[in-house]
Amino acid sequence: MNRGGDQPEKVAHAERAGRNGHEGHVIWLTGLSGAGKSTLSVALERRLFDAGHQTYVLDGDHVRAGLCSDLGFSPADRSENIRRVGEVARTLADAGVMVIVALISPFAADRARARAGHAPGRFTEVYVNAPLEVCEGRDAKGLYARARRHEIADFTGLTSPYEPPVQPDVEIRTDQVTVAQGVDLIWQHLQREDRLLH
């Protein structure tokens, strides 16, 4: 509809960043089931939010229940799951949100594609690392036990591979540090990269 006069200008990325006080950013947590991704993501979101950042968590379980409820766990479906979440994360980051993604995301190529959708410096890969036996010991949902009974096919770490990041931006050994210490490691990285409010 044209009412005469100039067309309104599109809201620029710099304007969004100026209003929020920071640029959008994606913090992508990858690791085995039970490694501690969801726990870290909630704690990190709280710290960012309390410090004045616009932030949101995209958690694998919640995404699977909604956006990706039509997908299974075959390699092709896993890749599509990552693609969809990557697009949502990119869109939110473009709107100026600091997005925390907590997904197993087992394949390096899929994580690389997720990173490729972002400007340099606006994507942080965090390897949430814990030995398999530790992850199994934390398994409140009994998923590892079901997979070992062959009730779940293509279970990452047992019957489906996990490709650990070779050079993650941050690595957190959750069998060796507390949740608060893990959050500190991510926070310190973001500070070094000048991604936090001043």
The more confidently predicted of residues 169 and 21 is: 169
Q: Report the chain's mean pLDDT, rounded to a whole number.
A: 89
Q: What is the pLDDT of residue 4?
A: 55
User: In the chain, what are the domain boundaries?
Assistant: 22-131+163-192
Flag whether pLDDT at 20 surpasses 50.
yes
Question: How much of the chain exceeds pLDDT 70, in percent?
Answer: 96
Mean of pLDDT values over 11-20: 76
Mean of pLDDT values over 130-142: 90
Q: Is 23 left (phi over 0), alpha (psi -120 to 50) or beta?
A: beta
Sheet holding 98-102, edge to edge: 55-59, 98-102, 25-30, 123-129, 170-173
Mean of pLDDT values over 80-86: 91
Q: How confident is the model at residue 1 (pLDDT cuts 50, 70, 90)?
A: very low
Flag whether pLDDT at 183 surpasses 80.
yes
Q: What is the pLDDT of residue 2?
A: 54
d(CA 21, CA 49): 13
Flag whether pLDDT at 6 surpasses 80.
no
DSSP symbols for 7-62? PPPPPPHHHHHHHHTS--EEEEEE--TTSSHHHHHHHHHHHHHHTT--EEEEEHHH
Chosen CATH of 22-131+163-192 out of 3.40.50.150, 3.30.70.20, 2.30.31.10, 3.40.50.300: 3.40.50.300
Catalytic residues: 105
